[in-house]
């Protein structure tokens, strides 16, 4: 039985595609790079910023210096953006409430979004939900797919890997769970064709609607 459920944030609990995509395009435009249709960010948002910009840039521009500048500017732009379109996915809040009602299960957050923004979003959108820990991006702290945050959350909650499960929507989330030696539930709210991704990464659990998560615990 699972005692700790660790959730990714972007693309898993909250829909940030429109606002994050706008901010990525704003940064790319400021630096004179090609911008992209917002729907193209569906498979990118929520991952490591270095990886995202590496995929967005043409090969000759994928230098450490350029990517570092883009990452810093994105964090600045996104932190100041009002995020008018960011909201929880339908059904997510109900599932979190049901998990909170279970005395033997704790829930936590692990995201590559900055710590400050992660806490602010959770406070604004999940004010009635109790999280046993929120781990976001902090300078000098390893980010996903490094298992650092997962390991820390297991220590905080005094649980074993076999008692822990990760819920996310990206390859980064799958690798995070694998690196920590825990099970993973892959969420597919957009109903995309993920058969190859699942087969290549040996993912056993897929949630097509938030309620599905409860069946795997």
Residue-wise pLDDT tens digits, 32-47: 999 999 988 887 776 7
**Burial letters 9-21, b for 16+ CB under 10 A, else e:** bbbbbbbbbbbbb
Mean pLDDT throughout 69-75?
A: 95
Residue-wise pLDDT tens digits, 190-207: 888 888 888 899 999 999
Mean pLDDT throughout 98-127?
A: 95
pTM of the full structure: 0.91
Contact between 157 and 133 under an 8 Å Cβ cutoff? The reply is yes
pLDDT at 188 over 80: yes
Mean pLDDT throughout 112-141?
A: 94
* Average per-residue pLDDT for the chain: 94
What is the CATH number assigned to the segment(s) 17-80?
1.10.150
Nearest-angstrom CA–CA distance, 116 and 79: 9
Contacts of 124 (CB under 8 A, 6+ apart): none
Q: Residue 157's pLDDT is what?
A: 97
CATH of 4-15+86-216, one of 1.20.120.1080, 3.40.50.2000, 3.90.1170.50, 3.40.50.1000: 3.40.50.1000
Helical spans, DSSP H, in 141-210:
148-157, 171-180, 195-201
Q: Residue 100's pLDDT is what?
A: 97
pLDDT at 211 over 90: yes
Q: Residue 25's pLDDT is what?
A: 97
Domain residue extents for the chain: 4-15+86-216, 17-80
Mean pLDDT throughout 113-138?
A: 95
Question: What percentage of the chain reaches a pLDDT higher than 90?
Answer: 86
Contact between 173 and 184 under an 8 Å Cβ cutoff? The reply is yes
């Amino acid at each position: 039985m699972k005692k700790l459920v660790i959730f990714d944030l972007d693309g898993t609990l909250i829909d940030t595609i429109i606002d994050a995509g706008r901010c990525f395009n704003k940064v790319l435009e400021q630096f004179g790079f090609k911008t992209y249709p917002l729907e193209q960010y569906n498979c990118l948002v929520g991952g490591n910023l270095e990886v995202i910009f590496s995929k967005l840039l043409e090969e000759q521009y994928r230098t450490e210096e350029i990517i570092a500048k883009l990452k810093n500017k994105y964090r600045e732009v996104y932190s100041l953006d009002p995020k008018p379109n960011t909201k929880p996915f339908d059904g997510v809040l109900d599932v979190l409430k049901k998990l909170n009602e279970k005395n033997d299960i704790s829930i936590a957050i692990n995201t590559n979004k900055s710590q400050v923004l992660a806490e602010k979003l959770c406070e604004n959108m999940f004010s009635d939900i109790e999280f046993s820990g929120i781990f976001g991006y902090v300078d000098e702290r390893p980010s996903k797919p490094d298992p650092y945050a997962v390991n820390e959350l297991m220590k905080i909650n005094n649980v074993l890997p076999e008692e822990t499960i990760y819920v996310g929507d990206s390859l980064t989330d799958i690798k995070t769970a694998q690196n920590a030696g825990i099970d993973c539930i892959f969420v597919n709210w957009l109903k995309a064709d993920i058969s190859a991704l699942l087969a290549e990464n040996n993912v056993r659990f897929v949630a097509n609607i938030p309620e599905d998560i409860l069946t795997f615990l």
